[in-house]
Amino acid sequence: MKNKSTIANIILSTFLIFSFVISLFINPSFSINAQAANKNVVVIIDPGHGGTGDRNLGAQYNGLSEKDLTLQLANVLKAELEKYEGITVYQTRTTDVIMSLEDRAKFAQNVNADFVFSIHFNASAEHLFYGSEVWTSTFGSYYQKGYNFGQIVSAEWNGLGLYQKGVKTRIGSSGNDYYGIIRQCVARNMPCVILEHAYVDQGNDVSLIKTSGFVSKLAQADATAIAKYYGLKSKTTGADYSGFTYKSVKKPGGKLYQDESGPDQCDIKVLGYDVASGNVLVELTAVDKQSPVIYFSYSYDGGNHFCPLQMWDRTKPTQSFNVKVPSGTVNPTIVVKAYNNYEKDSTSAPVAVNASFVY
Ligand SMILES: [Zn+2]
């Protein structure tokens, strides 16, 4: 009997594995029921940066310090996660100290971590961008796990009013993952995501971050996402994500490279010009085959000055909007830029507007 059931089990598990592999090829994504694993889940919360010296501070703008925000968020996140059953939570650092990326990954490996969540806040050289983004490994199941978690946490952040830039990969000159913490974790067989919650150098995000209690809300959002990903329950709060399901992305066949170029198409048409109000109705078609177009910006002075980045509805390639030209502007000329989620832009041809466009 024992042998029979073993054989039956082997046949069944072979069939299940086979069906799973087939489903990877047939479906671009497939549903996963986030049932809590039989074993206890071990997660690492890694507050980015820390210590003194310019290299260790992270982004510093508007009175906000990245190394402090990451630790503040991580402390709340650990406490929130510990309200759930079936999970053990470790933090790479709990004080303001320098810790190398390699030591963070080694620490995670020593406690047999299932997943490393590296907590960060963002800034850009241009100080133009806003919103949240997730970085994951470019490789196989590490990509898949990071992407799937990224989709779940992105939905939580969206609920807090943050614009969602998406989940991305980046490969360095060595051909491995560009970001050190992801590279060090993958080298030790652990999935890792970098969670860039919001920008500390851009107005929209700064005002959110400075809202009282917002960093704690971010930590709760992260905790909810991790609980959903693992299908956890909490007797303390009554939360039960054991029935939570999500769409899984396919494992990539090869490396997924970053997008190094702007949108393939950025064309404008002027549909009308209301001289009295100064409103120019502009239609923009913006398309990028590699990565989604997520922002656009316009100029009425031929491209000398651009407005702050506007949100682009990624469900439609063509959209129209009004550009307000201040009265007294000589020879108004519309130019539009479209940006993808790698912050690469393309610029439209200029279109001079005059009274012949009146509608
Ligand atoms: Zn950082």
Q: How far, in Å, from the CA of 149 to the mean position of ligand 1? A: 19
Q: How does pLDDT run along the chain (359 residues), one tens digit per residue? A: 334 444 444 444 444 444 443 334 434 566 776 655 567 999 999 999 999 999 999 999 999 999 999 999 999 999 999 999 999 999 999 999 999 999 999 999 999 999 999 999 999 999 999 999 999 999 999 999 999 999 999 999 999 999 999 999 999 999 999 999 999 999 999 999 999 999 999 999 999 999 999 999 999 999 999 999 999 999 999 999 999 999 999 999 999 999 999 999 999 999 999 988 999 999 999 999 999 999 999 999 999 999 999 999 999 999 999 999 998 898 899 999 999 999 999 999 999 998 666 55
In angstroms, what is the span from residue 74 Cα to ligand 1's centroid?
Answer: 13
Cα 293 to middle of ligand 1, angstroms: 24
pLDDT per residue as tens digits for the range 272-289: 999 889 999 999 999 999
Alpha-carbon distance 256 to 178, whole Å?
Answer: 12
Cα–Cα separations (whole angstroms), residue 182 to 177, 190, 215, 352: 7, 9, 24, 48
pLDDT digits (tens, 9 = 90+) for 340-356: 999 999 999 999 998 66
Ligand 1 centroid to residue 324 C-alpha, Å: 37
Give the distance (Å) from ligand 1 centre to CA of residue 210: 18
Q: Is the pTM of this model over 0.85?
A: yes
DSSP one-letter string for 153-205: HHHHHHTTT--EEEEE--B-TTSSBSSHHHHHHHTTT--EEEEEEEETTSHHH
Residue 142 Cα, ligand 1 centroid: separation in angstroms?
20
Q: 136 C-alpha to center of ligand 1: Å?
A: 14
Ligand 1 centroid to residue 119 C-alpha, Å: 7
Cα 218 to averaged position of ligand 1 atoms, centre (Å): 16
315 C-beta neighbours (distance < 10 Å), count: 7
- In the reported structure, the alpha carbon of residue 67 is separated from the centroid of ligand 1 by a whole-number distance in angstroms of 8
CA of residue 138 to ligand 1 center, whole Å: 19
197 Cα–ligand 1 center, Å: 10
Token digits of residue 108: 């995670």
What's the Cα-to-Cα distance from 306 to each of 163, 184, 329, rounded to whole Å?
Answer: 20, 40, 15
CA of 120 to the centre of ligand 1 (A): 4
Distance 258 CA to ligand 1 centre (A): 19
